[in-house]
């Protein structure tokens, strides 16, 4: 009997097959909305046992335990879900808790933030590698690259770079202007547009003077939750010619800023509200 088992083991090893059923699939926690979206788009949503609070799309995320905010991940909250792997971004914190999770046996993968379409595609491919879905990731990025190329071809026909006022409407009625070095500016650049408030770094609280001085050709509002931005609370925005002429977009913040699988959609929707000439801002008084 022992000899028979040894022979069976040898044959199984040569064939690369396990003696019993296939090994269990990994239990995965994601802490980054764009990464969570990617997991679902790769058909691996069944692997998820928890997500962070930036993960609200697709709706299936509502059924998963929330482990906390990306930049304040709790050690106990993540470990309680018994994950084999935590996939997150370089924005994740605190580092001490990530190191503790690693020491506890959780494979912690911190992926670079994506600030260009190509970086976004590479991140999708990396998630595919981590989850054993490389073939699916290759097919997805091939389709996404084709859609991105179409939008950029349309954008190149404008002949000028529109100036865009990008507003971030977050919780507690906080309204910020997106400046240099932000994902907002990166999205604008991906469709050949410029930031109308490039004189500031990062996200800064909005004020009436800065809004009126921006004289944008178009306005984009990224909402953390639907209905977060009430234009009537910001008459300075409504006075801008770009707003009055309809060159405006109000959309989900993760769609616009996540640089995930919905990036082609974000680029296409943004490109549609950009004017074909620079006459809009000239009408601001």
Per residue in 95-139, pLDDT tens? 999 999 999 999 999 999 999 999 999 999 999 999 999 999 999
Q: What is the CATH number of domain 25-140?
A: 3.40.50.1980
Of 200, 175, 180, 198, the C-alpha closest to 250 is 175
Q: What's the pLDDT at 186?
A: 98
Q: What's the pLDDT at 283?
A: 61
Q: Domain spans of the chain? A: 25-140, 159-283
Strand partners of residue 85: 28, 107
pLDDT grade, residue 10 (50/70/90)?
Answer: very low
Can 25-140 and 159-283 be said to share one CATH topology? Answer: yes
For the segment 134-159, the average pLDDT, to the nearest whole number, is 97
For the segment 66-89, the average pLDDT, to the nearest whole number, is 97
Of 163, 144, 151, 150, the C-alpha closest to 259 is 144
Query: Does position 162 have pLDDT exceeding 80, yes or no?
Result: yes
Residue whose entry in the numeric block shows the structure tokens 């905010």? 69
Q: What's the pLDDT at 172?
A: 66
Query: Does position 188 have pLDDT exceeding 70, yes or no?
Result: yes
Lowest mean per-residue pLDDT among 98-102, 116-120, 265-269, 277-281: 277-281
For the segment 69-73, the average pLDDT, to the nearest whole number, is 96
Lowest mean per-residue pLDDT among 21-35, 70-84, 123-137: 21-35
The answer to whether the pTM exceeds 0.85 is: yes
Decide if domain 159-283 falls under CATH 3.40.50.1980: yes
Q: What's the pLDDT at 227?
A: 85
Query: Does position 217 have pLDDT exceeding 60, yes or no?
Result: yes
Q: What residues contact 177, with CB distance under 8 A and at least 6 apart?
A: 165, 166, 167, 168, 197, 200, 203, 204, 205, 206, 210, 211, 214
Lowest mean per-residue pLDDT among 3-12, 89-98, 128-137: 3-12
Residue whose entry in the numeric block shows the structure tokens 């071809």? 153
Q: What's the pLDDT at 40?
A: 98
pLDDT grade, residue 11 (50/70/90)?
Answer: very low
- Cα–Cα dist 227/221, whole Å: 11
For the segment 147-167, the average pLDDT, to the nearest whole number, is 96
Query: Does position 41 have pLDDT exceeding 80, yes or no?
Result: yes
Give the strand pairing for 85-89 and 48-51: unpaired
Long-range contacts from 98-105, C-beta under 8 angstroms, 24+ separation: 98/73, 100/75, 101/75, 104/79
Q: What's the pLDDT at 125?
A: 98
Q: What's the pLDDT at 279?
A: 63
Query: Does position 7 have pLDDT exceeding 50, yes or no?
Result: no
């Amino acid at each position: 009997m022992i000899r028979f088992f040894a022979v069976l083991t040898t044959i199984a090893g040569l064939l690369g097959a396990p003696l019993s059923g296939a090994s269990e699939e990994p239990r995965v926690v994601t802490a980054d909305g764009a990464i969570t979206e990617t997991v679902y788009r790769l058909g691996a949503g069944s692997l998820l046992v928890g997500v962070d609070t930036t993960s609200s799309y697709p709706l299936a995320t509502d059924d998963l335990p929330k482990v906390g905010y990306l930049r304040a991940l709790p050690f106990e909250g993540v470990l309680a879900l018994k994950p084999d792997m935590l996939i997150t971004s370089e924005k994740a914190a605190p580092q001490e808790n990530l190191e503790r999770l690693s020491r506890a046996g959780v494979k912690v993968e911190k992926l670079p933030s994506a600030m260009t379409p190509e970086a976004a595609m590479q991140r999708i491919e990396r998630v595919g590698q981590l989850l054993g879905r490389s073939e699916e990731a290759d097919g997805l990025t091939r389709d996404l690259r084709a859609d991105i190329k179409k939008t950029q071809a349309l954008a190149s026909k404008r002949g000028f770079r529109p100036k865009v006022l990008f507003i971030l409407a977050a919780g507690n009625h906080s309204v910020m202007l997106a400046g240099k070095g932000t994902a907002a500016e990166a999205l604008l650049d991906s469709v050949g547009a410029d930031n109308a408030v490039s004189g500031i770094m990062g996200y800064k609280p909005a004020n009436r003077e800065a809004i009126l001085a921006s004289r944008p050709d178009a306005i984009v509002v990224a909402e953390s939750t639907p209905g977060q931005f009430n234009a009537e609370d910001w008459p300075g925005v409504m006075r801008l010619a770009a707003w009055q002429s309809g060159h405006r977009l109000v959309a989900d913040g993760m769609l616009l800023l996540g640089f995930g699988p919905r990036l082609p959609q974000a680029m296409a929707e943004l490109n549609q509200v950009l004017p074909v000439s620079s006459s809009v801002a000239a009408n601001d008084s």
